[in-house]
A = this chain, B = another copy of it.
Amino acid sequence: MLKREKPKERFSYDPKKVLQQLERFGKKVLEEITRGRNPFIDVPTRGLSNVYFDERDRLIKMGDKTSRRYLFHVAHARKFMQTLLISAYIKRLVSEGKHASLREAYYANKHTIPGSKENTFEDQSESDPIIEDLERMFGVLREEMHITADRRGYIYGDVVIKDGEDEFNASKLGMGGWAVPGTVEHIEFPEINVDYVLVVETAAMADRLIEEKYPKKEKALVVATQGQASRGVRRLIHRLHYEEGLPIIVFTDGDPYGWYIYSTIKQGSINLAYLSEKLATPEAKFVGMTMDDIKKYGLENVTEKLKGIPPNKKGGPTGDYKRIIEEMNYPWFQNKEWQRQLKLALEWGVRIEQQALANKSLEFVAKEYLPEKIGNEELLP
């Protein structure tokens, strides 16, 4: 039986820490300028060359390569100026307790430099990487710097949430549930009456479980990701696991996209490798859909064909086949359970959706499939 465990981390959000880091950084640059030196920043290198899979922690991590960026350097000056502009902006945001989206941060800092025709930023593609650089430099999430991510996803279950002055139970909001905001750093959980978190890919399936009163009957907190999990949702899952000791179970479609959603929640993504320690949850487990489910529950009639060309056909592999082969090479799928599922998918050339379980009956997923698999811990690692 899944039960809440002892927490491994403490609620750690501290805006003062970010302010201190920014101040230290600003002072260092100022000091170098007043001493007549050429100020520089060491920015951790981005890209695959500086990313590795840490076998011990089971996380995608950032390496220790850095590159130096000087103020007085033809190739660096623009980025240096941009880094200072955004740093100053973030200092204002955090001091004032305000948040801005990536796009607002871009618009707010775009202007023409007086006495020139030069714009500080031409495009959001110039400001986003600067914010990422600051995340890498300071080892903080951009959410901690009050830059919010796109929001998507909602939760439902017997958990009391404290967000600012408001406190409410996320199982008393009708069928709607609570919309997860872009930033969840400041959120606290004064009361938790669930045994585990069930992360669900599709809104339709989450709504099915809510209608069947699954969260209440099985003491679960349902988290609907509505596709790929947003940063806010991934951070929420991480916090619920590490700070509240809740086991995390993921339930997606049985297709390469669903397995990728699981993989991102579990291990982080290559783009955000430097943030895995705050966003990923390597202890997450996977309940389904699996290829074995098709046979076990007699769902052959409601599978769909994989898209693309199989590896043994001319022009292949493409589409789903290509994605599956890529996933077979992920370090965290190097175990017999996952290799078996991925091989079966290639062999049978099919995929299976969560909602296909409705073929048995609407209640089947809530009354049999999930309680049985989770109760018996028939979970993939």
A-to-B contact residues, CB < 8 Å: 98-101, 103-105, 107-108, 110-112, 119, 148, 150-152, 154, 161-164, 166, 168, 172-183, 187, 203-204, 207-208, 211, 226, 301-302, 353, 355-359, 361-362
Contact = CB atoms under 8 A, between A and B. Distances in A.
What's the dominant secondary structure at chain A's contact region? mixed
Contacts of A355: 101, 103-104, 107
Given A104-B362, A108-B358, A207 B176 contact: no
Nearest to A299: B107
A137 to B, nearest CB: 24
Given A107-B302, A112-B301, A99 B211 contact: yes
A110 B361 CA distance: 12
Nearest to A164: B174
Contact of A161 (B107, B168, B174): B174
Contacts of A301: 110-112, 119
Given A358-B104, A358-B107, A359-B110, A175 B168 contact: no
B207 A181 contact: yes
A163 to B, nearest CB: 2
Contacts of A356: 107
A81 to B, nearest CB: 17
Given A181-B207, A207-B181, A103 B353 contact: yes
B207 A148 contact: yes
A166 B174 contact: yes
A67 B210 CA distance: 39
B178 A173 contact: yes
Contacts of A182: 203-204, 207
A186 to B, nearest CB: 8
Contact of A173 (B98, B103, B107, B166): B166
Contact of A204 (B103, B204, B359): B103
Nearest to A361: B108
B174 A181 contact: yes
